[in-house]
Amino acid sequence: MANSEIDRLMQLLARVPGLGPRSARRAVLHLMKRRDQLMLPLAQAMQAAAESIRICSQCGNLDTQDPCAICRDAERDTAAVCVVEDVGDLWALERTSAFRGRYHVLGGTLSALDGRGPEQLNIDKLIDRVREQEVSEVILALSATVDGQTTAHYIGERLADLGVKVTRLAHGVPVGGELDYLDDGTLTAALRARRPA
Amino acid sequence: MIEWQDDGIVLSSTPHGEDATVVHLLTREHGHHAGLVRGGQSRRAQGTYQPGNLVQASWRARLADHLGQYSCEVVETPIARLMDRPDRLVALSAMAAVAQHALPEREAHPAAFEGTQALLAALEGEHWAEAYVHWEMFLLGELGFALDLSCCAGGGNDRLAYVSPRTGRAVSLSAGEPYRNKLLALPGFLVGYGGGGTGEVAQGLRLTGFFLGRHIFHPADRDLPAARHRLAERFERALGEGSGSKAGSDGETDSVDRPAGMD
């Protein structure tokens, strides 16, 4: 590529998840064609976001303010804290509008292979929150994987002496799922977690 | 193009690039073998490549020494049955991590596959923890570092109660008594007496952990995997809560039953 600025832009865009070198080229071409309508506003938005985004000191969420909008929202139930692995999981739960409590982002799960132990996760902060704030329920919304469930059990044990109710998300048949197409593990988990109809 | 099909047990799955994963399997005929799974980070594939899953694997590569590509179909998913059982889940993680780091890649160990499959089945049973210790003993033997628990190295005729950390041979109660502080406690269930239980399992994990570290992990400049440490810690903690003291230091078979906390 003749132009180093364009080349650099393509290289950077190619690092974004979902984009490879070819799609980065297409995106750059599209941006250059819509310089005023898209490229400059996008650059300004990215600049503004990069300068203002910070990690919430209470829950670990990403926001432009600290504490984040969720932690500052007085309408939310302060007694329920939902523990998630990542900010992406928090956003997924927020999209459902089914939970009106607060969150706590762990920053990952315990991993035997990656050597990620409890000290690398935001667990001590969660214990402090439960101790210091009036939390009555901690919901463990972690993945149904070996690492996710090992982390959930670990946190459950750490919270056991604090007199707080610890619950976790159910595992089983997804909405719209047909039994015939479900894998054995999901069906087994669903059967084990059955409840009165 | 080189291609083979085999049964495999998933040991780990590590993200690679944007959508692929590098999956390590313990296969029946081809031993510990890694391969790339395209689309391995997708939601559908993540369930397939959970540690402990039994899969029907198909591997192909242009040359034999290439990483190659896996495509797998799940046959059995033990995690679904162990999800509510924290101790067994930690044992499953420990098993996968120990096997991955201990077994050399691309070296056939059919017995290791059979043994690991047996352990996965035993994790649902009552004596899962004793089965885990037996599995680590078996793994040491499979890798050429078997402990000799057939008779007393010091010529004693009474009950075998210790293991020499130097030779890995058993020592009887009377012959080992003067050196008890230097010897490792031998849990009774490994030599056909003693009913197992938390104390004996803790002793067993100390014993196998010592030799795994010495022969396999430390020479490779590694510590035992974190999950293996967590498993041992759980038994030590349960033992402390159950008896008020640490077991194993005196070499006596501990009679503490598994506390209610251990699932």
- Per-residue pLDDT of B139-181, as tens digits, reads 999 999 999 998 898 787 788 999 999 999 999 999 988 888 9
CA-nearest of B154, B97, B85, B156 to B122 is B85
Predicted pLDDT at B260: 45
Q: What is the mean pLDDT of residues A135-148?
A: 92
CA-nearest of B119, B123, B135 to B209 is B135
Assembly ipTM: 0.74
Q: Out of B47, B89, B228, whose CB is closest to A185?
A: B47
Q: Out of B47, B80, B96, whose CB is closest to A112?
A: B96
Is the pLDDT at B119 greater than 90? The verdict is yes
What are the residues whose beta carbons fall under 8 Å from the beta carbon of A131, sequence distance 6 or more? A162
Q: What is the mean pLDDT of residues B213-241?
A: 90
Contact list in A for residue B12 (CB cut-off 8 A) is 113
For residue B131, name the pLDDT band (cuts at 50, 70, 90): very high
Is the pLDDT at B248 greater than 70? The verdict is no
Is the pLDDT at A146 greater than 70? The verdict is yes
Instruction: Report the chain B residue with the minimal C-alpha distance to residue A16.
Output: B18
- Per-residue pLDDT of A17-75, as tens digits, reads 888 889 999 999 999 999 999 999 999 999 999 999 999 999 999 999 999 999 999 99
Contact list in B for residue A187 (CB cut-off 8 A) is 80
Instruction: Report the chain A residue with the minimal C-alpha distance to residue B89.
Output: A150
B170-172 and B69-76 as β-strands: parallel, antiparallel, unpaired? unpaired
Predicted pLDDT at A2: 54
Helices B128-142 and B110-122: crossing angle in degrees, nearest 10, is 170
For residue B36, name the pLDDT band (cuts at 50, 70, 90): very high
Contact list in B for residue A144 (CB cut-off 8 A) is 83
- Report the distance separating Cα B156 and Cα B167, nearest Å: 16
Place of tokens 């998630």: A84
- Per-residue pLDDT of B72-106, as tens digits, reads 998 988 888 888 889 999 999 999 999 999 999 99
Q: Do A185 and B77 touch (CB under 8 A)?
A: yes
Is the pLDDT at A96 greater than 50? The verdict is yes
Are the CB atoms for A47 and A112 separated by under 8 Å?
A: no
Pair of tokens at residue A106: 């762990």
- In A, what residues contact B, Cβ < 8 A? 17-18, 20, 110, 112-117, 144-147, 149-150, 153-154, 156-157, 171, 183-189, 192
Predicted pLDDT at B243: 52
Q: Do A146 and B50 touch (CB under 8 A)?
A: yes
The one-letter amino acid code at B163 reads V
Is the pLDDT at B115 greater than 50? The verdict is yes
Percent pLDDT > 70 in chain B is 92
CA-nearest of A84, A150, A156 to B227 is A150
Is the pLDDT at B45 greater than 90? The verdict is no
- Report the distance separating Cα B187 and Cα B253, nearest Å: 6
Predicted pLDDT at B203: 94
For residue B247, name the pLDDT band (cuts at 50, 70, 90): very low
Please report, for residues A3, B82, B90, B112, B195, the alpha-carbon distance to residue B122 in angstroms, rounded to integers and kept in the order given: 63, 11, 14, 15, 16
Q: Does B222 touch chain A (CB under 8 A)?
A: no
Q: Out of B51, B74, B81, whose CB is closest to A146?
A: B51
Q: What is the mean pLDDT of residues B242-254?
A: 38
Predicted pLDDT at B208: 97
The structural domains of chain A, ordered by start, are 4-52 (1.10.8), 74-168 (3.40.1360.10)
- Report the distance separating Cα A78 and Cα A65, nearest Å: 19
Is the pLDDT at B263 greater than 70? The verdict is no
Pair of tokens at residue A80: 């329920």
Range name among A172-186, B83-97, B197-211 with the lowest pLDDT average: A172-186
